[in-house]
Amino acid sequence: MDTNSNFLYDLKSKEWQLGEYWGVFILNRNVNFRNTRQVIQLSPATENNDGRENVDLKTETFGSYSMVLPVMYLGKAGNESFRIGLGMGVGKVNVQGTADFNDGLGLFTNAAVFNSGRTLDNKIENLGRFSLLTSGNIDGDPYRAYLLSNLSFENNLENLGLYSLLKGDLSKGSIEPISYLIYSSAANGQLNALEIYALSSLGKGRINSKTNFAKSYYFFWEIPLGPVTWRLGFGGPFYTQNNFTIEIRGFEMSLYTPIEF
């Protein structure tokens, strides 16, 4: 979750005014986004507080989405009238980046799991399997799943580090320096830099997901202000992939000038 000023563009069909105060049109919304904060559970929910806060965990998600929405609106014909509308349709989504799936406790949790093993191989194996279950493999990457489920086998730990680097899975700030020091100290010279990097990278979960069939919605309220129109809008796409629910909700205030073709 983040607050950004962005340029986006909408493509809209002609309007079909079906009554004096209502009509329909087709809307295509295209949005790029970049979020650098997460909403996490910091305290137990109470009657007056849900315990969730928007914080910076050094994670980042970015991507784009495009929605095609049949929209029904209430308002008179033309661009000079107050208007309120709702559209529901389908969207195309591409989202990448990192997230903390442990409510800000990723480093602490991973360190506890790692230290639960007796030998170094046990520690690596425990952390790999725990990460497979909790740190996100949303796109169902079979090679990454294989590496995490057999992380202490042969060169799998080194291969995971190399694979993450080549795919560009990790964003700026996704590896905390203290995690590198923790695993480097625990390895006692038995692991190389790439292997320690691989362990450190598991503190943040990866996100690499796309779909062409996301359910989408958009609600808006428009007021004409001379040559421009002020819009308050809310909505976005949502879908489920490999037992994860991905929902991108945007709340916007914008000024725009319609250009007719």
Decide if pLDDT at 84 tops 60.
yes
Distance CA 223, CA 203 (A): 46
pTM of the model: 0.79
Distance CA 46, CA 126 (A): 35
**In sequence order, what are the residues at sequence separation of 6 or more whose Cβ sits closer than 8 angstroms to the Cβ of residue 251?**
233, 234
CA 7 to chain centre: 19
| Per-residue DSSP letter, 188 | T
pLDDT confidence of 46, banded at 50, 70, 90?
low
Between 94 and 9, the higher pLDDT residue: 94
Decide if pLDDT at 43 tops 80.
no
Q: Classify residue 241 as exposed, middle or buried by CB count within 10 Å of its CB (0-12, 13-18, 19+).
A: middle
pLDDT tens figures, 100-145: 887 777 778 888 899 898 899 999 999 999 988 887 666 778 898 8
pLDDT confidence of 73, banded at 50, 70, 90?
very high
Q: Are 16 and 3 in contact (CB under 8 A)?
A: no
Q: Are 238 and 215 in contact (CB under 8 A)?
A: yes
Q: Residue 48 is which amino acid?
A: N
Handedness of CA 47, 252, 18, 226 (dihedral sign): positive
Decide if pLDDT at 87 tops 50.
yes
Nearest CA to 74 out of 134, 20, 147 is that of: 20
pLDDT tens figures, 224-259: 988 888 999 999 999 998 878 889 988 888 888 877
Decide if pLDDT at 1 tops 50.
no
pLDDT tens figures, 162-211: 998 887 765 555 677 788 888 999 888 899 999 999 998 888 888 888 99
CA distance between the termini of the chain = 35
Q: Which residue has the tokens 């916007």?
A: 252
pLDDT tens figures, 213-224: 999 999 999 999
165 φ/ψ angles, rounded to the nearest 5 degrees: -65, -45
